[in-house]
């Protein structure tokens, strides 16, 4: 077996299992019972809780890299990536430094989670989901395959986002260097549901327990407990009482 490369300053519990070709950087902390797959890279200062599972070739705690063509300013000093107890991180997933993942979360294969994201416990971020910078995601949230969650966005507890959902945060669609405040992603309130292949435009709010139909284009706010459908999306009726639950 080819041994892992472990920096001497790393703190790894005695029962942690490290796969072949794994690289563990400076000051990394890995809790008891965690299994790290083959080829994983755990970057400096990353903190991984107990009983977590990282599948093959995951990249954990990567530092974002700016290039000259980018218009958005980037934070230069970021705290360590933190992954909570009992989390599962899929094969080839990439999680950036400065992000917090709560306990018992599932991060699917090939998912990408950028810097300064916070994900509450018991959430599912499915396969090939991308989550951009500075986004807040609550507890018990499910974001399904191939969805794009834009930067500067808020998703509250208990939200369901179906497959292929697209969200945006820039109304101008140009290359001017705008202020960070101008990049304003959607807000999805507690218990709301977003149907497959829906598009949410910058700054819109989907209210508590509202539902957005599959393929809808949401360009203005959806009131709480209403169903919006179509392109452009319009309110068509109330959400049935038996479909509203905090569970």
Q: What is the mean pLDDT of the chain?
A: 93
Joined tokens for residue 190: 């507690």
- In whole angstroms, what is the distance from residue 88 CA to residue 193 CA? 24
- In whole angstroms, what is the distance from residue 95 CA to residue 159 CA? 21
User: Which residue ranges make up each domain of the chain?
Assistant: 1-64+78-134
- In whole angstroms, what is the distance from residue 86 CA to residue 49 CA? 7
Do residues 239 and 210 lie in contact, with contact meaning Cβ atoms separated by under 8 Å? Answer: yes
CA distances from 111 to 59, 108, 177, 231 (A): 11, 6, 28, 29
- In whole angstroms, what is the distance from residue 11 CA to residue 57 CA? 21
pLDDT of residue 1: 46
pLDDT tens figures, 41-97: 999 999 999 999 999 999 999 999 877 666 666 677 899 999 999 999 999 999 999
- The torsion of the CA quartet 24, 28, 29, 33, rounded to 10 degrees, works out to -10
Sheet containing strand 29-30, edge to edge, reads 11-12, 29-30, 47-48, 82-83, 100-101, 118-119, 136-137, 154-155, 187-188, 205-206
pTM: 0.93
Give the contacts of 211 (CB within 8 A, at least 6 positions apart).
192, 193, 195, 226, 227, 228, 239, 243
pLDDT of residue 33: 98
Multiple choice CATH, 1-64+78-134, 3.90.79.10, 3.40.47.10, 1.10.1060.10, 2.160.10.10:
2.160.10.10
Residue 195: alpha-carbon gap to chain centroid: 18
pLDDT of residue 178: 60
């Amino acid at each position: 077996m080819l041994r892992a490369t472990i920096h001497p300053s790393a703190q790894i519990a005695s029962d942690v299992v490290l796969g072949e070709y794994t690289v563990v950087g400076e000051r990394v902390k890995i809790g008891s019972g965690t299994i790290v797959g083959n080829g994983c890279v755990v970057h400096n200062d990353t903190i991984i809780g107990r009983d977590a599972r990282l599948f093959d070739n995951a990249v954990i705690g990567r530092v974002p890299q700016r290039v000259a063509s980018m218009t958005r300013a980037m934070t230069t000093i970021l705290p360590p990536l933190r992954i909570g107890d009992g989390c599962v991180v899929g094969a080839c997933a990439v999680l950036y430094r400065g992000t917090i993942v709560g306990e018992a979360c599932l991060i699917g294969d090939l998912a990408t989670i950028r810097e300064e994201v916070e994900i509450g416990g018991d959430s599912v971020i499915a396969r090939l989901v991308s989550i951009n910078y500075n986004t807040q995601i609550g507890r018990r949230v499910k974001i399904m395959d191939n969805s794009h969650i834009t930067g500067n966005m808020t998703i509250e507890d208990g939200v369901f986002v179906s497959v292929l959902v697209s969200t945006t945060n820039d109304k101008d669609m140009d290359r001017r260097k705008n202020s960070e405040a101008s990049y304003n992603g959607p807000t999805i309130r507690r218990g709301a549901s977003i149907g497959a292949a829906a598009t949410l435009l910058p700054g819109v709010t989907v209210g508590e327990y509202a539902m957005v139909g599959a393929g809808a284009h949401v360009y203005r706010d959806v009131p709480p407990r209403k169903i919006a459908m179509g392109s452009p999306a319009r309110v068509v009726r109330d959400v049935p009482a038996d479909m509203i639950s905090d569970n």
